[in-house]
Structure 1
Protein backbone atom coordinates (compact mmCIF):
# COMPACT_ATOMS: atom_id res chain seq x y z
CA UNK A 1 0.00 0.00 0.00
CA UNK A 2 1.41 3.40 -0.95
CA UNK A 3 1.71 6.02 1.75
CA UNK A 4 1.13 9.61 0.73
CA UNK A 5 4.20 11.79 1.11
CA UNK A 6 3.40 15.22 2.58
CA UNK A 7 3.68 17.85 -0.14
CA UNK A 8 6.14 20.64 0.52
CA UNK A 9 4.69 24.07 -0.10
CA UNK A 10 6.33 27.33 -1.00
CA UNK A 11 6.54 29.34 2.20
CA UNK A 12 8.60 32.13 0.62
CA UNK A 13 8.90 33.10 -3.04
CA UNK A 14 11.03 36.15 -3.82
CA UNK A 15 11.38 37.29 -7.44
CA UNK A 16 13.36 40.22 -8.77
CA UNK A 17 13.78 41.88 -5.38
CA UNK A 18 15.83 45.07 -5.31
CA UNK A 19 16.00 47.08 -2.10
CA UNK A 20 18.03 49.75 -0.41
CA UNK A 21 18.19 52.91 1.66
CA UNK A 22 18.04 56.39 0.16
CA UNK A 23 19.96 56.29 -3.15
CA UNK A 24 21.89 53.15 -2.14
CA UNK A 25 20.84 49.81 -3.62
CA UNK A 26 21.86 46.90 -1.39
CA UNK A 27 19.82 44.00 -2.86
CA UNK A 28 20.05 43.44 -6.63
CA UNK A 29 17.27 41.62 -8.54
CA UNK A 30 17.28 38.69 -6.12
CA UNK A 31 15.30 35.44 -6.47
CA UNK A 32 14.76 32.96 -3.64
CA UNK A 33 12.30 30.15 -2.91
CA UNK A 34 12.07 28.43 0.49
CA UNK A 35 9.84 25.43 1.15
CA UNK A 36 8.04 24.20 4.25
CA UNK A 37 10.20 22.14 6.58
CA UNK A 38 13.42 23.70 5.28
CA UNK A 39 16.25 25.22 7.26
CA UNK A 40 18.31 27.41 4.94
CA UNK A 41 21.66 28.93 5.86
CA UNK A 42 22.52 32.33 4.37
CA UNK A 43 26.24 33.10 4.65
CA UNK A 44 28.36 36.10 3.77
CA UNK A 45 30.37 38.90 5.29
CA UNK A 46 28.92 41.97 6.96
CA UNK A 47 27.69 44.58 4.50
CA UNK A 48 26.79 42.14 1.72
CA UNK A 49 23.02 42.26 2.21
CA UNK A 50 21.95 39.45 4.54
CA UNK A 51 20.21 41.74 7.02
CA UNK A 52 18.83 43.93 4.24
CA UNK A 53 17.24 40.89 2.61
CA UNK A 54 15.51 40.06 5.89
CA UNK A 55 14.41 43.68 6.33
CA UNK A 56 13.13 43.73 2.76
CA UNK A 57 10.99 40.64 3.36
CA UNK A 58 9.60 42.35 6.47
CA UNK A 59 8.99 45.64 4.59
CA UNK A 60 11.55 47.55 6.61
CA UNK A 61 14.00 48.78 3.97
CA UNK A 62 13.99 52.39 2.79
CA UNK A 63 12.66 51.39 -0.64
CA UNK A 64 12.16 48.20 -2.61
CA UNK A 65 10.59 46.72 -5.71
CA UNK A 66 9.91 43.18 -6.87
CA UNK A 67 7.67 40.37 -5.67
CA UNK A 68 7.68 38.76 -2.24
CA UNK A 69 5.07 36.08 -1.63
CA UNK A 70 4.61 34.63 1.85
CA UNK A 71 2.39 31.54 1.86
CA UNK A 72 1.24 32.50 -1.64
CA UNK A 73 0.17 36.03 -0.66
CA UNK A 74 1.98 39.04 -2.11
CA UNK A 75 3.52 41.06 0.73
CA UNK A 76 6.36 42.82 -1.09
CA UNK A 77 4.58 45.79 -2.61
CA UNK A 78 6.30 48.66 -4.37
CA UNK A 79 6.36 51.49 -1.92
CA UNK A 80 7.83 54.88 -1.18
CA UNK A 81 5.88 55.67 1.99
CA UNK A 82 8.75 54.70 4.27
CA UNK A 83 9.76 51.52 6.07
CA UNK A 84 7.37 49.60 8.29
CA UNK A 85 4.09 50.78 6.78
CA UNK A 86 2.90 47.23 6.05
CA UNK A 87 5.13 45.22 8.39
CA UNK A 88 2.29 44.38 10.79
CA UNK A 89 0.43 42.81 7.89
CA UNK A 90 3.47 40.72 6.96
CA UNK A 91 3.75 39.52 10.56
CA UNK A 92 0.09 38.51 10.57
CA UNK A 93 0.71 36.65 7.32
CA UNK A 94 3.26 34.44 9.15
CA UNK A 95 6.64 36.20 9.46
CA UNK A 96 8.86 36.22 12.55
CA UNK A 97 12.00 38.36 12.26
CA UNK A 98 14.64 37.70 14.91
CA UNK A 99 17.05 40.61 14.40
CA UNK A 100 20.81 40.78 14.69
CA UNK A 101 22.01 41.42 18.23
CA UNK A 102 19.77 41.43 21.26
CA UNK A 103 17.23 44.16 20.38
CA UNK A 104 15.85 44.01 23.91
CA UNK A 105 14.26 46.37 26.44
CA UNK A 106 16.58 46.17 29.42
CA UNK A 107 13.95 47.06 32.03
CA UNK A 108 11.44 44.38 31.00
CA UNK A 109 11.54 40.87 32.42
CA UNK A 110 12.20 37.71 30.45
CA UNK A 111 8.50 36.82 30.67
CA UNK A 112 7.41 40.25 29.45
CA UNK A 113 9.71 39.91 26.45
CA UNK A 114 8.33 36.51 25.57
CA UNK A 115 4.75 37.76 25.90
CA UNK A 116 5.55 40.63 23.53
CA UNK A 117 6.37 38.09 20.82
CA UNK A 118 2.81 36.72 20.87
CA UNK A 119 1.62 39.45 18.50
CA UNK A 120 -1.36 37.84 16.80
CA UNK A 121 -4.62 37.06 18.66
CA UNK A 122 -4.08 33.30 18.35
CA UNK A 123 -0.50 33.49 19.63
CA UNK A 124 -1.69 35.61 22.57
CA UNK A 125 -4.39 33.08 23.50
CA UNK A 126 -1.80 30.31 23.34
CA UNK A 127 0.99 32.23 25.07
CA UNK A 128 1.23 29.90 28.09
CA UNK A 129 1.78 26.86 25.87
CA UNK A 130 4.15 28.81 23.64
CA UNK A 131 6.23 29.96 26.61
CA UNK A 132 6.51 26.39 27.80
CA UNK A 133 7.72 25.42 24.33
CA UNK A 134 10.39 28.16 24.42
CA UNK A 135 11.52 27.09 27.90
CA UNK A 136 12.02 23.53 26.68
CA UNK A 137 14.29 24.87 23.94
CA UNK A 138 16.11 27.27 26.33
CA UNK A 139 15.94 25.66 29.82
CA UNK A 140 18.20 28.29 31.48
CA UNK A 141 15.43 30.88 31.03
CA UNK A 142 13.00 29.03 33.28
CA UNK A 143 14.52 30.34 36.50
CA UNK A 144 14.93 33.84 35.04
CA UNK A 145 11.35 34.61 34.01
CA UNK A 146 10.92 37.43 36.54
CA UNK A 147 14.42 38.85 36.00
CA UNK A 148 14.99 42.09 34.10
CA UNK A 149 16.71 41.28 30.82
CA UNK A 150 19.33 43.96 31.39
CA UNK A 151 20.79 41.83 34.18
CA UNK A 152 21.35 38.77 32.00
CA UNK A 153 24.51 37.55 30.31
CA UNK A 154 24.99 37.95 26.56
CA UNK A 155 24.06 34.33 25.89
CA UNK A 156 20.93 34.58 28.03
CA UNK A 157 19.85 37.78 26.27
CA UNK A 158 20.25 36.06 22.91
CA UNK A 159 18.03 33.21 24.16
CA UNK A 160 15.39 35.78 25.12
CA UNK A 161 15.58 37.49 21.73
CA UNK A 162 15.22 34.20 19.84
CA UNK A 163 12.58 32.92 22.23
CA UNK A 164 10.50 36.06 21.66
CA UNK A 165 10.54 35.30 17.92
CA UNK A 166 9.54 31.69 18.54
CA UNK A 167 6.45 32.91 20.42
CA UNK A 168 4.99 34.15 17.13
CA UNK A 169 2.40 32.38 15.03
CA UNK A 170 4.94 32.11 12.22
CA UNK A 171 5.45 30.04 9.11
CA UNK A 172 8.77 31.73 8.28
CA UNK A 173 11.48 32.47 10.84
CA UNK A 174 14.25 34.85 9.77
CA UNK A 175 17.12 34.56 12.27
CA UNK A 176 19.85 37.15 11.78
CA UNK A 177 23.38 36.33 13.05
CA UNK A 178 22.35 34.29 16.13
CA UNK A 179 25.98 33.65 17.20
CA UNK A 180 27.17 37.23 16.74
CA UNK A 181 29.29 38.45 19.66
CA UNK A 182 28.97 35.23 21.63
CA UNK A 183 31.76 32.94 22.81
CA UNK A 184 32.12 29.97 20.42
CA UNK A 185 30.70 27.44 22.88
CA UNK A 186 27.68 29.64 23.68
CA UNK A 187 27.13 30.44 20.00
CA UNK A 188 27.14 26.74 19.17
CA UNK A 189 24.59 26.16 21.95
CA UNK A 190 22.29 28.79 20.47
CA UNK A 191 22.58 27.14 17.03
CA UNK A 192 21.90 23.74 18.61
CA UNK A 193 18.68 25.17 20.05
CA UNK A 194 17.61 26.51 16.66
CA UNK A 195 18.23 23.09 15.11
CA UNK A 196 15.93 21.54 17.72
CA UNK A 197 12.92 23.68 16.71
CA UNK A 198 10.26 21.50 15.08
CA UNK A 199 9.36 23.32 11.88
CA UNK A 200 6.47 21.21 10.60
CA UNK A 201 5.01 23.27 7.75
CA UNK A 202 7.13 26.30 8.67
CA UNK A 203 10.59 27.25 7.39
CA UNK A 204 13.67 28.97 8.81
CA UNK A 205 16.44 31.05 7.25
CA UNK A 206 19.51 31.60 9.41
CA UNK A 207 21.96 34.32 8.39
CA UNK A 208 25.50 33.65 9.63
CA UNK A 209 29.06 34.70 8.88
CA UNK A 210 30.42 31.42 10.26
CA UNK A 211 29.47 28.82 7.65
CA UNK A 212 31.08 26.07 9.76
CA UNK A 213 28.25 26.46 12.29
CA UNK A 214 25.70 25.63 9.58
CA UNK A 215 27.32 23.04 7.33
CA UNK A 216 25.80 19.60 7.77
CA UNK A 217 23.06 20.97 10.02
CA UNK A 218 20.77 22.81 7.61
CA UNK A 219 19.13 21.62 4.41
CA UNK A 220 21.17 23.95 2.22
CA UNK A 221 23.60 26.83 2.57
CA UNK A 222 23.43 29.77 0.16
CA UNK A 223 26.18 32.35 -0.21
CA UNK A 224 25.46 36.08 -0.44
CA UNK A 225 27.88 38.55 -1.98
CA UNK A 226 27.29 42.25 -2.75
CA UNK A 227 23.52 41.90 -2.62
CA UNK A 228 23.21 38.79 -4.79
CA UNK A 229 22.83 35.11 -4.00
CA UNK A 230 25.74 32.97 -5.11
CA UNK A 231 24.20 29.50 -5.02
CA UNK A 232 25.23 26.68 -2.73
CA UNK A 233 27.99 27.80 -0.37
CA UNK A 234 30.72 26.12 1.61
CA UNK A 235 33.64 27.07 3.78
CA UNK A 236 35.69 27.58 0.60
CA UNK A 237 33.25 30.28 -0.59
CA UNK A 238 33.60 32.18 2.69
CA UNK A 239 37.39 31.90 2.50
CA UNK A 240 37.39 33.18 -1.08
CA UNK A 241 35.11 36.10 -0.18
CA UNK A 242 37.43 37.07 2.68
CA UNK A 243 40.43 37.06 0.32
CA UNK A 244 38.59 39.43 -2.04
CA UNK A 245 38.27 41.91 0.81
Structure 2
Protein backbone atom coordinates (compact mmCIF):
# COMPACT_ATOMS: atom_id res chain seq x y z
CA UNK A 1 0.00 0.00 0.00
CA UNK A 2 1.08 3.55 -0.67
CA UNK A 3 2.34 5.18 2.52
CA UNK A 4 0.95 8.57 1.62
CA UNK A 5 -1.39 9.53 4.39
CA UNK A 6 0.58 7.79 7.09
CA UNK A 7 3.43 10.28 6.68
CA UNK A 8 1.25 13.15 7.80
CA UNK A 9 0.71 14.34 11.36
CA UNK A 10 -3.06 14.75 11.63
CA UNK A 11 -4.70 15.56 14.97
CA UNK A 12 -4.85 12.66 17.36
CA UNK A 13 -8.12 10.70 17.46
CA UNK A 14 -10.33 10.58 20.55
CA UNK A 15 -9.45 8.17 23.35
CA UNK A 16 -12.02 5.71 21.95
CA UNK A 17 -10.27 5.88 18.57
CA UNK A 18 -12.98 7.93 16.87
CA UNK A 19 -12.08 10.51 14.25
CA UNK A 20 -15.70 11.45 13.60
CA UNK A 21 -18.64 11.21 16.02
CA UNK A 22 -22.09 12.35 14.83
CA UNK A 23 -25.11 12.38 17.12
CA UNK A 24 -28.66 13.35 16.19
CA UNK A 25 -27.74 15.15 12.97
CA UNK A 26 -30.52 16.67 10.89
CA UNK A 27 -29.72 18.85 7.89
CA UNK A 28 -31.28 20.27 4.77
CA UNK A 29 -31.80 23.19 2.45
CA UNK A 30 -34.49 25.83 2.93
CA UNK A 31 -37.62 24.06 4.20
CA UNK A 32 -36.44 20.64 2.98
CA UNK A 33 -34.97 18.18 5.46
CA UNK A 34 -32.65 15.64 3.85
CA UNK A 35 -30.82 14.10 6.84
CA UNK A 36 -32.95 12.83 9.74
CA UNK A 37 -31.49 12.38 13.27
CA UNK A 38 -28.44 10.52 12.03
CA UNK A 39 -25.76 8.90 14.21
CA UNK A 40 -22.34 7.78 12.95
CA UNK A 41 -18.94 6.88 14.42
CA UNK A 42 -15.80 6.61 12.25
CA UNK A 43 -12.57 5.45 13.87
CA UNK A 44 -8.92 6.01 13.07
CA UNK A 45 -7.59 3.72 10.36
CA UNK A 46 -11.08 2.86 9.15
CA UNK A 47 -12.25 2.88 5.55
CA UNK A 48 -16.06 3.13 5.49
CA UNK A 49 -18.37 2.81 2.50
CA UNK A 50 -21.80 4.44 2.32
CA UNK A 51 -24.05 3.18 -0.47
CA UNK A 52 -27.36 4.53 -1.67
CA UNK A 53 -29.25 5.92 -4.62
CA UNK A 54 -29.07 9.54 -5.73
CA UNK A 55 -31.16 11.89 -3.63
CA UNK A 56 -31.07 9.86 -0.42
CA UNK A 57 -28.59 12.06 1.46
CA UNK A 58 -25.02 10.83 0.91
CA UNK A 59 -23.72 14.15 -0.44
CA UNK A 60 -25.78 16.15 2.07
CA UNK A 61 -24.16 14.21 4.91
CA UNK A 62 -20.73 15.16 3.63
CA UNK A 63 -21.76 18.80 3.17
CA UNK A 64 -23.19 18.91 6.69
CA UNK A 65 -19.91 17.68 8.16
CA UNK A 66 -18.18 20.51 6.27
CA UNK A 67 -20.80 23.06 7.38
CA UNK A 68 -22.08 23.62 3.84
CA UNK A 69 -25.77 22.80 4.17
CA UNK A 70 -28.46 25.46 4.32
CA UNK A 71 -29.32 24.50 7.91
CA UNK A 72 -28.41 21.77 10.35
CA UNK A 73 -28.60 20.79 13.98
CA UNK A 74 -27.04 18.07 16.07
CA UNK A 75 -23.52 17.22 17.20
CA UNK A 76 -20.59 16.64 14.85
CA UNK A 77 -17.28 16.06 16.60
CA UNK A 78 -14.10 15.89 14.52
CA UNK A 79 -11.02 14.79 16.46
CA UNK A 80 -12.88 15.55 19.67
CA UNK A 81 -13.83 19.09 18.72
CA UNK A 82 -17.41 20.16 18.05
CA UNK A 83 -17.78 21.41 14.47
CA UNK A 84 -21.54 20.91 14.10
CA UNK A 85 -24.20 22.34 16.38
CA UNK A 86 -27.15 24.43 15.25
CA UNK A 87 -26.74 26.47 12.10
CA UNK A 88 -29.54 28.34 10.35
CA UNK A 89 -27.65 30.61 7.96
CA UNK A 90 -24.33 31.24 6.33
CA UNK A 91 -23.44 27.84 4.80
CA UNK A 92 -19.67 27.67 4.46
CA UNK A 93 -19.06 30.42 7.00
CA UNK A 94 -17.03 28.13 9.27
CA UNK A 95 -15.88 25.56 6.75
CA UNK A 96 -12.30 26.82 6.79
CA UNK A 97 -12.17 26.08 10.52
CA UNK A 98 -13.41 22.53 9.89
CA UNK A 99 -10.74 22.06 7.23
CA UNK A 100 -8.07 23.22 9.66
CA UNK A 101 -9.43 20.75 12.19
CA UNK A 102 -8.64 17.89 9.80
CA UNK A 103 -11.30 17.55 7.08
CA UNK A 104 -10.75 17.00 3.36
CA UNK A 105 -13.88 16.90 1.19
CA UNK A 106 -13.57 15.48 -2.32
CA UNK A 107 -16.88 16.34 -4.00
CA UNK A 108 -18.51 14.36 -6.76
CA UNK A 109 -18.38 15.35 -10.40
CA UNK A 110 -16.37 18.18 -11.86
CA UNK A 111 -16.48 20.69 -9.01
CA UNK A 112 -13.20 22.20 -10.08
CA UNK A 113 -12.09 25.49 -11.64
CA UNK A 114 -11.79 24.78 -15.34
CA UNK A 115 -9.49 27.75 -16.02
CA UNK A 116 -6.84 26.71 -13.50
CA UNK A 117 -4.06 24.31 -14.36
CA UNK A 118 -3.61 20.91 -12.78
CA UNK A 119 -0.71 22.22 -10.69
CA UNK A 120 -2.71 25.22 -9.50
CA UNK A 121 -5.51 22.92 -8.40
CA UNK A 122 -3.13 20.73 -6.43
CA UNK A 123 -1.58 23.79 -4.81
CA UNK A 124 -5.04 25.00 -3.76
CA UNK A 125 -5.46 21.84 -1.70
CA UNK A 126 -2.46 22.79 0.46
CA UNK A 127 -4.67 25.03 2.60
CA UNK A 128 -2.84 25.07 5.91
CA UNK A 129 0.56 26.74 6.42
CA UNK A 130 2.39 23.43 6.90
CA UNK A 131 0.84 21.78 3.86
CA UNK A 132 1.73 24.85 1.80
CA UNK A 133 5.35 24.67 2.89
CA UNK A 134 5.39 20.98 2.00
CA UNK A 135 3.47 21.28 -1.26
CA UNK A 136 6.34 20.20 -3.51
CA UNK A 137 6.89 16.74 -1.93
CA UNK A 138 3.13 16.34 -1.49
CA UNK A 139 2.60 16.93 -5.20
CA UNK A 140 5.20 14.29 -5.95
CA UNK A 141 3.30 11.80 -3.82
CA UNK A 142 0.02 12.68 -5.56
CA UNK A 143 1.70 12.17 -8.93
CA UNK A 144 2.97 8.79 -7.76
CA UNK A 145 -0.67 7.81 -7.13
CA UNK A 146 -2.01 9.37 -10.35
CA UNK A 147 0.90 9.18 -12.88
CA UNK A 148 -1.15 10.46 -15.87
CA UNK A 149 -1.28 13.90 -14.24
CA UNK A 150 2.49 14.41 -14.40
CA UNK A 151 2.52 15.40 -18.06
CA UNK A 152 -0.58 17.56 -17.58
CA UNK A 153 0.58 19.86 -14.78
CA UNK A 154 0.50 23.00 -16.96
CA UNK A 155 -2.79 22.08 -18.66
CA UNK A 156 -6.06 23.84 -17.72
CA UNK A 157 -8.34 21.23 -16.22
CA UNK A 158 -11.15 22.23 -18.56
CA UNK A 159 -9.25 20.44 -21.31
CA UNK A 160 -8.96 17.16 -19.44
CA UNK A 161 -11.01 14.01 -19.76
CA UNK A 162 -13.54 13.06 -17.09
CA UNK A 163 -11.17 10.53 -15.53
CA UNK A 164 -8.30 13.01 -15.46
CA UNK A 165 -10.48 15.66 -13.84
CA UNK A 166 -11.51 13.17 -11.17
CA UNK A 167 -7.82 12.47 -10.48
CA UNK A 168 -7.24 16.21 -10.09
CA UNK A 169 -10.13 16.53 -7.64
CA UNK A 170 -8.92 13.61 -5.54
CA UNK A 171 -5.31 14.76 -5.71
CA UNK A 172 -6.29 18.21 -4.46
CA UNK A 173 -7.92 16.60 -1.42
CA UNK A 174 -4.86 14.49 -0.75
CA UNK A 175 -2.70 17.63 -0.53
CA UNK A 176 -4.41 18.61 2.72
CA UNK A 177 -3.47 18.04 6.36
CA UNK A 178 -6.47 15.82 6.96
CA UNK A 179 -7.46 13.09 9.36
CA UNK A 180 -10.86 12.52 7.72
CA UNK A 181 -11.25 12.16 3.96
CA UNK A 182 -14.79 12.33 2.56
CA UNK A 183 -14.86 10.99 -1.01
CA UNK A 184 -18.16 11.54 -2.82
CA UNK A 185 -19.01 9.20 -5.74
CA UNK A 186 -15.45 8.73 -7.08
CA UNK A 187 -16.65 6.52 -9.97
CA UNK A 188 -19.60 8.70 -11.02
CA UNK A 189 -19.73 9.24 -14.78
CA UNK A 190 -16.53 7.33 -15.48
CA UNK A 191 -16.04 4.33 -17.73
CA UNK A 192 -15.93 1.14 -15.63
CA UNK A 193 -12.20 0.58 -16.16
CA UNK A 194 -11.32 4.17 -15.24
CA UNK A 195 -13.65 4.14 -12.24
CA UNK A 196 -12.02 0.96 -10.98
CA UNK A 197 -8.58 2.52 -11.41
CA UNK A 198 -9.58 5.56 -9.36
CA UNK A 199 -11.00 3.33 -6.64
CA UNK A 200 -7.87 1.15 -6.68
CA UNK A 201 -5.80 4.27 -5.99
CA UNK A 202 -7.98 5.18 -3.00
CA UNK A 203 -7.80 1.66 -1.63
CA UNK A 204 -4.03 1.66 -1.98
CA UNK A 205 -3.54 4.54 0.43
CA UNK A 206 -2.20 3.77 3.91
CA UNK A 207 -4.47 5.65 6.30
CA UNK A 208 -2.45 5.43 9.51
CA UNK A 209 -4.37 7.51 12.09
CA UNK A 210 -6.60 8.99 9.40
CA UNK A 211 -9.96 7.66 8.19
CA UNK A 212 -11.80 7.66 4.87
CA UNK A 213 -15.52 7.62 4.10
CA UNK A 214 -16.48 6.83 0.51
CA UNK A 215 -20.00 7.46 -0.80
CA UNK A 216 -20.68 5.27 -3.81
CA UNK A 217 -23.54 3.81 -5.82
CA UNK A 218 -21.49 0.99 -7.31
CA UNK A 219 -21.38 -1.46 -4.40
CA UNK A 220 -19.14 -3.84 -6.33
CA UNK A 221 -16.30 -1.30 -6.13
CA UNK A 222 -16.48 -1.40 -2.32
CA UNK A 223 -17.31 -5.01 -1.61
CA UNK A 224 -14.49 -6.81 0.17
CA UNK A 225 -12.29 -3.70 0.15
CA UNK A 226 -13.59 -1.52 3.00
CA UNK A 227 -14.01 -2.20 6.70
CA UNK A 228 -17.75 -1.51 6.78
CA UNK A 229 -20.57 -0.70 4.37
CA UNK A 230 -23.62 1.26 5.47
CA UNK A 231 -26.75 1.90 3.44
CA UNK A 232 -28.18 5.41 3.14
CA UNK A 233 -31.93 5.54 2.58
CA UNK A 234 -34.17 8.62 2.83
CA UNK A 235 -31.69 10.54 4.95
CA UNK A 236 -30.94 7.77 7.43
CA UNK A 237 -28.21 5.17 7.73
CA UNK A 238 -29.37 1.57 7.66
CA UNK A 239 -27.76 -1.02 9.91
CA UNK A 240 -24.17 -2.01 9.32
CA UNK A 241 -23.55 -4.64 6.68
CA UNK A 242 -20.38 -6.65 6.35
CA UNK A 243 -18.75 -6.43 2.94
CA UNK A 244 -19.97 -9.95 2.21
CA UNK A 245 -23.54 -8.62 2.52
CA UNK A 246 -22.97 -5.55 0.37
CA UNK A 247 -24.93 -6.91 -2.57
CA UNK A 248 -27.88 -7.58 -0.29
CA UNK A 249 -27.65 -4.01 1.02
CA UNK A 250 -27.79 -2.72 -2.54
CA UNK A 251 -30.93 -4.73 -3.28
CA UNK A 252 -32.66 -3.39 -0.19
CA UNK A 253 -32.09 0.28 -1.09
- Normalised to the residue count of structure 2, the TM-score between the two structures is 0.91
Is the counterpart of residue 148 in structure 1 residue 156 in structure 2?
A: yes
Q: Which residue of 1 aligns with 2:172?
A: 164
| Residue 49 of structure 1: aligned partner | 57
- Return 5+ residue gaps in structure 1 as ranges: 1-6
Q: What CA distance in whole angstroms lies between the structure 1 residues aligned with 2:94 and 2:117?
A: 28
Q: 1:117-136 residue pairs with structure 2 within 5 A?
A: 117-136=125-144
In the alignment, does 2:109 pair up with 1:101?
Answer: yes
* Counterpart-to-counterpart distance in 2, 1:102 and 1:194: 18
SS at match of 2:226: coil
Name the structure 1 match of 2:248: 236
SS at match of 2:104: strand
Aligned counterparts of 2:47 and 2:16: Cα–Cα separation in 1: 13
Distance 2:41 2:66 in 1: 16
1:29 aligns with 2:29: no
CA contact (8 A) 1:8 1:36 kept: no
- Sort the Cα spacing of 1:173 and 1:200 in 2 relative to 1 into closer, same or farther, 3 A: same
> Pairwise mapping of residues 53-72 of structure 1 onto structure 2 (< 5 A)?
53-72=61-80
C-alpha distance in structure 1 between counterparts of 2:240 and 2:79, whole Å: 24
Q: Which moved more, 1:49-58 or 1:99-108?
A: 99-108
Please tell me whether residue 75 in structure 1 is matched to residue 87 in structure 2: no
Residue of structure 1 aligned with 2:222, choices 204, 214, 222? 214
RMSD after superposition: 1.0
1:208-243 C-alpha deviation (Å, 9 max, x unpaired): 0011110100111111100000022411221232xx
Q: Distance in 2 between matches of 1:168 and 1:148?
A: 21
How much has 1:105 moved relative to structure 2? Answer: 1.2
Runs of at least 4 residues off by over 4 Å: none
- Partner of 1:92 in structure 2? 100
Q: How does the TM-score come out when normalised to structure 1? A: 0.94
Question: For the residues of structure 2 that align with 1:93 and 1:240, how far apart are their CA atoms?
Answer: 36
Q: How far off its partner does 1:8 sit? A: 6.7
**Match of 1:232, SS?**
coil
Distance 2:212 2:249 in 1: 22
**1:56-98 CA-partner distances (Å, limit 9, x unpaired):** 0000001000000000000002112221111110000000000
Q: Which moved more, 1:231-240 or 1:94-103?
A: 231-240
Is the 1:16–1:67 contact (alpha carbons within 8 Å) kept by the matching residues of 2?
yes
> Which position in structure 1 is the counterpart of 2:196?
188
Equivalent residue for 2:185? 177
Q: Which runs of 5+ in 2 are unaligned?
A: 1-14
